[in-house]
Structures are given as C-alpha cells and as structure tokens.
Structure 1
Amino acid sequence: MRTIELDDTTIAYEEGGPADGVPVLLSHSLFFDHRMFDPLAALLQEAGFRTIAYDQRGHGQTPGAPRERLTMDARTADAAALLRGLDLAPAHVVGNSMGGFVGLRLAARHPELVRTVGALGSSAEEEHQLEAFAPLVERLGEEGAAPAIDVLLHIMFGDTSLASRPDLVAPWRERMAALSPAIADSALEVIHRAPVVEELAGCAVPVLAISGAEDHAYPPPLSDERLADAAGGRWVRVDGAGHSVALEQPEACAAALLEHFARHAVPA
C-alpha cells in the first residue's frame, strides 16, 4: 500500500484505475479496512474512474490514535486532509457506514472538496440503537472482538450473505476476530456521534443514499429515505444485502453510483 503523512499520522491507501480518471475516495466501515471496497473499486476502475481506498485510523495499516482523534469530526478532518494532500479535490466520496458518516460531514463542511457523496449503509441521525450497542462496545474493550464475532457479523452482514455467502463472510470473520480491545475506542465514537441533519439542510453536494434491504444496524428507511430527505438527495435500496452493502452487492452499488456520477458530471 501507499502512505501519506498527514498531520499526526500516516494514512495508508490503495490506488487504482487511470491516473487521469475522475477520483473516487472510498471510506470504509467500522471493523473493516480498505479491502471491503476491492470488488466495488474494480468496477469503478473499469468505468474509467481513479479510486483511492484508504484505511481509517485504527484500521488496516493506518495506526491507531487517542480517542479524541477517533471522533467523526477528526475522521472527517483526516479525509479532508487526504483529499488535499493527494490533490484529489473535487472528488466523488463513497463511504459505507462509518465511512458514510465521514462523507456526509465532508458534504456539509467541505463542499469545495467534493463532487458527490454516496452514503452506503449510513445515517445522518444520532445512534438509534445506543442501548443495544453500548454493552457490546464495553465487551469489545474488555475482551477484543473474538468472543463477540457472531454478533458483529450479524450486525455487519445481511441474512442472505450470512446464510449463503461463506466465501464472502469467512475472510472477514477471521479478520474481525483478530481485532484487539483497542477497536472499542473507534466503536465508542461511532455510537456516540452527533447527528448532522441540521448541517445537511440546504446541502449543495448531491448525495445518494444506498441501503441494504437486510441491514440489521441501520434498516431502511433510516439508511435511505430519511437520509436522502436530510441531505436533499436521492436513495436506492438494494436487495440481498445488509449493512455492508458495498461489499455484499458491489454490482448493484456500482450501477447506482455510476448513474449518480453521470447525473452530476461536470461538462468538459
């Protein structure tokens, strides 16, 4: 992977596609890393886009940080610095779950850096399952992810994937189970994030909300109709996918995103 020095950390990222293609920044979910976008990135690259999938702090090959650097605001600042540091702006920004939280904040706070946002399996609202998720996060901090792996997989994948896609789920079971108790700091900031509904009022950046019909974490309409309403955007619901819709149904996501990009293309 490539790396770039930003402020107080080193961000690892994977780049692909034509060097002169319109850039697409890919921002992953909690518990995942840039590899969750491998299938989607390949499809976007085939369509002529340049993709940059990065590891957020405390995930993949990007080092962790104190909790105050793991908030959604801090992660948004990281993404903005990455867009500037790699001279990507304005870029399409596509984020799944935690990555979507980042994308929505970029749209609201740094519209000059963003062409469009695709928020997948995401929400503009405060955490609606806080009482259910808080004990899980506490357990992660005490024991790491391995003892809770079945719960995590249920949250992060849809029923179809869990029942019939062992080729997809098994590698992530192994990767997630290896996560140390430090992952709890990231999880805690995710579930205690502030809403951005008011910030998105009058948003000038075109936003597309893509949901998985089987999302156990942020089920529709939270992750599609309500998000689109908050951002003044559009929404698409994908069958056969759960919370990790970018990974579970990359073809459907690519089709929706490419239509979204084309709808808001800047004339040459």
Structure 2
Amino acid sequence: MPEIAVNGTTLAYDDTGPRTGSTLVFSHSLFFNRTMFAPLVAHFADRYRVITYDHRGQGESAPAALPDLSMDVLTEDAAALIEALDLGRVHFIGNSMGGFVALRLAARRPDLLRSAVALGSSAEEEHQAVHFAPLLAKMRAEGAAPLVDVVTYIMFGDTSLASESPMLAEWRAYFAALPESIADSAHHVIHRDNIVAELASVEVPVLAIAGAEDHTYPPPISSENIASATGGRHVTVAGAGHSVALEQPAEVAAHLEKHLSES
C-alpha cells in the first residue's frame, strides 16, 4: 500500500494503469474507503492512469482530529495529492463526500482538473442536518455498529437493499466495524457549506450522476441542481441509491466513457 505525506497528513492510495495519457482520480464516500471504486478501476485501468485514495481519518489514511476534517481541508488534501504525484490536470471523480471535494476543486483549483464528476452528491448545505444530529451523537458514543441498518439504508438504494448481495454484506460488515472517530468525518458532512454561488464561475466540464433511489440526496439535488450551478450535465441511473458508483458500476462506466470522450 503506497502512502504519501501531503498537507500535514498521510494518505493511503493506489496507483494503477499506464503512466501516459489522462489520469482519473477517484474520491470515496463517507463510511467507505477507496476500494468502493474497484469495479471502475478494473474498467478503466487498461487505458487510464487511475488513482484511488482514502480521505484523512478514514480507510488506511492517517487519523485526524475533528477540526482537521472539514470539506475545505479534504479539498486541500486532494489538490496536494495531485500535485505531489505530479499528475497534471486530472479527471476528478467523487461519490458523495468525494463529490463535495470534486465540486470544490472545480471551483477553486481548475488548474488541476480536466473535468469533475459528482456522483450521489450535492452542492448545497445538508438539508437533513436536524434529522442526522441524534444519529451522529450515538455514533460518537458507540461507533457505527448499533446504526449499521441506518447507515446501510442511507448509503444504498432499494434495489441494492433487496438484493442481499455479497457486495452489500461486505459493506455492512465494514460499516459495523467503523470506530467512534468516524463521527468526526460525518460531522463535517452534516455541517458543510453551501457552494452553489461559488460554482457559478466553474469553467471545467462537470457531470452530475444521480441514483434514482438515493435516500440522501435524491434528484434534483444530486442531478439538475449541480448541473444548473456549474453549467454542466446530469444523468440519473436507475436501480441505484446514494452509492451509485458501487451499485451500478457498468452504467456509471458508460456515462463516464461518454464524459471523458467529450472533456
């Protein structure tokens, strides 16, 4: 497992594919890690250099204190990673929390991007903050295990929940093992800023991919609203919820292929 020291932290990452041509950087959701993109890495790594990484405080990256886990800091981490690996301008693709980072990079560091893709994400403040607050308090006190059913419902759509697939079982087990400290990362998801006005100046191509069954950021939050804010495009994937990149990777790959060919 490669690690890299950037922006005052250490990030775990994987680097696959040819070193010539374009680079794709994948940024994961809250509660997940970089392996959520394994199907997409397998699809693209024969033609693109593909970077996946764990956010600070999650996965195999270094732990971090609550004040150091804001969306602004995570965005600075991503920019520092791109620069430290000397990737040039990349296609930055993020699911949920990773999409928050993608949109902030598009607004603030267009020099690092060829395009941005936000999957199951939002440019807005958290509209369910009051609803999530007691869940966050319980998670901080007891970890994610007592809330595994709630977290799974938040992160997956109805089709996935009904499937009882090995993929779903694997991630349920991962959620159940998350430590109390995951609540600090969740805190900054719930208390993030609205960046719609900031996105008005975005010039890099932006694609929003929504899951039709997203329980957290349903369309139009994860689709039309992002496209409107950025002047980009949006598509909606059937049979997928909040973790659209993981739930319907073949369809997401097809949308990404089109986006990459046009960006």
TM range (shorter): over 0.9
2: CA distance between counterparts of 1:250 and 1:21? 23
Tell me, yes or no, if structure 1 residue 163 matches structure 2 residue 162.
yes
Deviates more, 1:154-163 or 1:19-28: 19-28
Using the alignment, how far apart are the partners of 1:157 and 1:262 within structure 2?
A: 29
Per the TM alignment, residue 89 of structure 1 is displaced from its structure 2 partner at its CA by 2.2
Task: Give 2:35's aligned amino acid.
Answer: R
Cα deviation code 1:171-208 (max 9, x no counterpart): 11111100111000000011100011011003101100
- Name the count of aligned residue pairs: 263
User: What's 1:248 paired with?
Assistant: 247
Distance 2:213 2:9 in 1: 36
- Pairing 1:96-135 to 2, within 5 Å after superposition: 96-135=95-134
Q: TM-score, normalised by structure 1?
A: 0.96
Instruction: Name the residue aligned to 2:82.
Output: 83
- Matched residue, 1:15: 15
1:7 shift after superposition = 3.0
- In structure 1, the residue matched to 2:188 is 189
Aligned pairs for 1:65-84 within 5 A: 65-84=64-83
Residue type matched to 1:201 in 2?
A
Q: Which residue of 1 aligns with 2:42?
A: 42
Counterpart residue identity of residue 86, structure 1: L
TM superposition shift of 1:165: 4.2
Q: How far apart, CA to CA, are the structure 1 residues paired with 2:103 and 2:113?
A: 10
How far apart are the structure 1 equivalents of 2:164 and 2:234?
Answer: 26
Does the CA-based 8 Å contact 2:7-2:76 persist in structure 1? no
* C-alpha distance in structure 1 between counterparts of 2:68 and 2:13, whole Å: 19
Q: Cα deviations across residues 13-48 of structure 1 (Å, max 9, x unaligned)? A: 0111112131111000000000000001111224x1
Percent identity over paired residues: 56
Please list every run of 5 or more consecutive structure 2 residues that lacks an aligned counterpart in the other structure: none
Report the CA distance between 1:166 and its aligned residue: 1.9
Report the secondary structure of 1:219's partner residue.
coil
| In the alignment, structure 1 residue 29 sits paired with structure 2 residue 8 | no
What letter is aligned with 2:155?
M
- CA displacement 1:114-155 (0-9 Å, x = unmatched): 000010000000001111111111111011000000000000
Gaps of 5+ in 1: none
How does the TM-score come out when normalised to structure 2?
0.98
